[in-house]
Chain A
Amino acid sequence: DIQMTQSPSSLSASVGDKVTITCRASQSISNFLNWYQQKPGKAPELLIYATLTLKTGVPSRFSGSRSGTTFTLTINSLQPEDFATYFCQQSYSNPPNLSFGGGTRVDI
């Protein structure tokens, strides 16, 4: 099974900061990497799919990139509504096995 290792598990930041979250896959997953945002008491929401494509309506301050099996979510100029937990997830496995990273909590 493909393992996803996400770091850091939590971070503190201020409004206007640039934030970087990393997710490493245990094997090649091509570009089949997705990012989700979850706020307390709510279901996760898709932010970015296929490594770097923003879902419609997601602000452009969010971006995704890849270097080998390491994927990065970057939030430029953090906004108050961005304080949440972020998860990566691979969708490469066949048969499907939608393994998630452990999550990164972004606090003020």
Chain B
Amino acid sequence: QVQLVQSGAEVKKPGSSVKVSCKASGGSFSANTITWVRQAPGHGLEWLGGIMPLSGTINHARKFQGRVTFAADTSTNTASMEVRSLTSEDTAVYYCAKVAQELGGAVDLWGQGTQITVSS
């Protein structure tokens, strides 16, 4: 059974960048869209964007266009997300997740989350 395993927590300085990885363990994600969602402390879920690994098609939430980059390596079943120009408002848990087209585009598999803390 496929699991999404994310990289570990990080503490970053304002203005720096962070890269979070997401590896599909026990299977492949190439045929699915990998999407990224974040959750700030005490807040709801915010969609950042996603990538279709097979085609390389990328979609961004308007808010993150130009500041967030998505990538995927089908040979290692690993997706990644980089956020640049970090501010304290980027402090959140970041999740990668798999979109299931056969379930109408619902997200049916989530990574464990990666805590990113932005602090001087």
Judge whether B104 and A96 touch: CB under 8 Å.
no
| Interface size counted on chain B using CB atoms at 8 A | 25
Per DSSP, chain A at the interface is: loop
Closest to B52 in A: A96
* CB of A11, distance to nearest CB on chain B (Å): 16
* Minimal beta-carbon separation of B72 from chain A (angstroms): 15
Q: Which residues of B contact A (CB under 8 A)?
A: 33, 35, 37, 44-47, 50, 59, 61-62, 95, 97, 99-100, 103-108, 110-113
| 5 nearest A-B pairs in the assembled complex, by CB-CB distance | A91-B105, A49-B106, A43-B110, A34-B106, A50-B104
User: Could you list which residues of chain A lie within 8 angstroms of chain B, going by C-beta atoms?
Assistant: 1, 31-32, 34, 36, 43-46, 49-50, 53, 55, 87, 89, 91-92, 95-103
